[in-house]
Structure 1
Amino acid sequence: MPCQTCGDTTSPTFDECQTCHTPLGQPAVTPGLPTYAVRGIGTAVQIAVGATAVLFLLASLVPVVGLVMAERAAADRDSDLLLGAAVLELALWLPLLAVYLTAAVLVIIWTWRARKNIDAFPGALPSLGAGWAIAGWLVPFANLVVPARVVANIARDSLWQRRTPVLVGVWWTAWLVFSVGERVVDKLDEREYARLPENPVDPADFQAYVAYYERILGWHLVPALAGLVAAATLIVLVRRISAAQQARIARAAGAWTVTPGMTVTPGGPVPSYPQPTPIPPTPVSPQVPPASGGTIGA
């Protein structure tokens, strides 16, 4: 008989579908368990993550502007030109912070919804509770491992794979390089900037600014490129997982035929039928006492 999840023909030799690993005879979604829409929130995640990566890359290229301004300041002996790079950096970091926080919130919401959905997928093998989809991002040190494990679990059970997709490993490795590298580079940047002369006057002072921007440009590009890889792989994962989960939930919803008078519970596609209206008894005329002499033996 065909599998109710993927539609492939199953074999009684195995106790589960060899394509999607749904146990034989089980529906695509367990009746009565809630499922959550992930396509809309997934689209929002993709936009926010992409915008964050682009803004961070632009902010990482600010040293290029600083280098040009420092060279002009050295040629004109004008220290006011050195303020241009600082103003541009501030103008980029403010919207970057807002977009970054928005992306973080959306990713956490999407991860929690996607993790809750696999609880309703027969054959899924979740290894961590749904609460870790939120706590895993917030608990120190755990946030170095747990989010990757949660997303790996979601990807396996949503994309019908028993092994973690390679894309999850690429995403998490790039994310760690980005998050750790960005903090290290910021510390180095602060230390180098503190060594610059506050009021440059002679050519050596201006040349120190030129050398500073030349050094930090390469430093900032490393986490920026890692951030681009992390963003691109996460966008692909979110798109694939969201599409797979929505298709499975829609397939399960279509497995029940909705007839007039049937209602569907808000938590899932389980049909509930209204109780039949009791039929009142047919009225019976009251018996009339027999008249005298009207029956035998009277």
Structure 2
Amino acid sequence: MPTYGVRGLAVAGASAVGAATLCYLLTALFPLVGVRMARSAAEQLDRDVLLGAVLAEVLFSVPYLLALLTAGTLVVIWTWRARKNLDAFPGAVPNLSPAWAIAGWLVPLANLVVPARVLADLLRNSVWQRRQSWLVGVWWASWLVFLIGDRFVARAEQQRYDRLTELPRNDAEFATYVRFYEDALAPRLVPAVACLVAGIAFVVLVRRISAAQQDRLSRAVPVWPGQRVWPGRPGWPAPAAPMPVAPTSPQVPSTPGGTIGA
């Protein structure tokens, strides 16, 4: 069965997931910047400052979207490779086919359940420690809270923003923008914390699964003829046993009238 190296891809995927998590935390904390800019606009009665706050938030979200796209691509490829490796591991009994390692992330509704099952298969058949299965539950629960919470918060914020005065003219109308950013921080903390927990849990899972699979793959690499094997390093196939040598008669000194080597 073909096997695939997952160590390098795991490092790249985990780094992308970490970057996406960090970028999302920055966007979630943007109301701290928005409050200052709204107060500055209220003091100066300057609408351009409010427009600058909107543009700044858009600029904050661009790195997050790029990191999220990169992380999603790498994670899907890593999941498929890790799942294919299970087919080459004796004793592994996965519940889902390799096709679900890709489709599980993309098919609507199925993406709410299948990725967790695929990752549980990878953990169980790679690490062989059932007590670590709780980590999959922590990751998936926090991921769902993040997805649902982020959409709910974004929709609620958009409805509140639509009720604001489009062209504020006095202190009272500018103050509504200040209150908008002040009230936006607390709801964002729920998906932000969930995103942080999900990101950390997923990185730990990827590293553990990849390390276990890579260790198993390295122990199955054959040793080519003439390749030096260091003491203590497993190799395949095992070195051949020496051929038995037929016993010979002992050598005795030559004597007059005798036979040499008799």
> TM-score scaled to structure 2, two decimals?
0.84
1:108 counterpart = 2:76: yes
CA distance in 2, matches of 1:44, 1:226: 22
Query: For 2:147 and 2:236, how far apart are their aligned partners in 1?
Result: 43
Match of 2:128 among 135, 160, 163: 160
Q: Which amino acid letter does the alignment assign opposite residue 150 of structure 1? A: V
Deviation at 1:75, TM superposition (A): 2.1
Q: How does 1:131-142 map to 2 (within 5 A)?
A: 131-142=99-110
Question: Which of 170, 181, 185 is residue 217 of structure 1 equivalent to?
Answer: 185
* 2:161 alignment partner AA: Y
> Which of 82, 95, 102 is the aligned partner of 2:63?
95
Q: Number of paired residues? A: 230
The DSSP-based 3-state class of the residue aligned with 2:199 is helix
- Which of 209, 212, 224 aligns to 1:258? It is 224
Q: Whole-Å Cα distance in 2 between the matches of residues 151 and 235 of structure 1?
A: 12
Preserved CA contact (<8 Å) 1:34 1:117: yes
Aligned to 2:160: 192
SS at match of 2:219: helix
1:22 corresponds in structure 2 to none
Distance 1:134 1:246 in 2: 21
- Distance of 2:115 and 2:169 partners within structure 1: 51
Q: Does 1:150 align with 2:118?
A: yes
2:7 aligns with 39
Q: TM-score under structure 1 normalisation?
A: 0.74
Please say if residues 80 and 102 of structure 2, whose CA atoms lie closer than 8 Å, have aligned partners that are also in contact: yes
Distance 1:162 1:39 in 2: 22
The structural deviation recorded for 1:164 is 5.8
Residues 79-122 of structure 1 show CA distances to partners (whole Å, capped at 9, x for unaligned) of: 22212321211112122211111100100000001111111111
Hey, what does 1:283 align to over in structure 2? none
The letter for the 2-side match of 1:117 is: N
User: Residue 169 of structure 2 corresponds to which residue in structure 1?
Assistant: 201
| Residue in 2 that maps onto 1:125 | 93
Structure 2 counterpart of 1:180, from 148, 155, 166: 148
Instruction: Trace 1:7-46 onto structure 2 (pairs within 5 A).
Output: 33-46=1-14
Residue in structure 2 matching 1:170, options 135, 138, 141? 138
The alignment status of 1:77 with 2:45, answered yes or no, reads yes
Secondary structure of the corresponding residue to residue 64 of structure 2? helix
1:229-248 correspondence runs (5 A)? 229-248=197-216
Structure 1 range deviating more: 218-227 or 109-118 = 218-227
Does the 8 A contact of 1:63 with 1:85 survive in 2?
no
- Cα offset for 1:224? 1.4
**What secondary structure is seen at the aligned counterpart in 1 of 2:185?**
helix
What do residues 156-188 of structure 1 show as CA deviations (whole Å, max 9, x unaligned)?
111112466111111111110111111111111
Contact persistence 2:38–2:177 (CA under 8 A)? yes
Query: Aligned partners of 1:270 and 1:189: how far apart in 2?
Result: 61
Aligned-residue CA RMSD (Å): 1.8
% identity of equivalent residues: 54
Residues 163 and 125 (structure 1 numbering): CA distance in 2 closer, same or farther, change over 3 Å?
farther
Structure with greater helix share of residues = 2
| Match in the other structure for 1:17 | none
C-alpha displacement of 1:219: 1.6
Q: What is the alpha-carbon distance in structure 2 between the residues aligned to residue 229 and residue 88 of structure 1?
A: 26
Q: 2:223, 2:236 within 8 Å by CA — same for their partners in 1?
A: no
3-state SS of the aligned residue for 1:116? helix
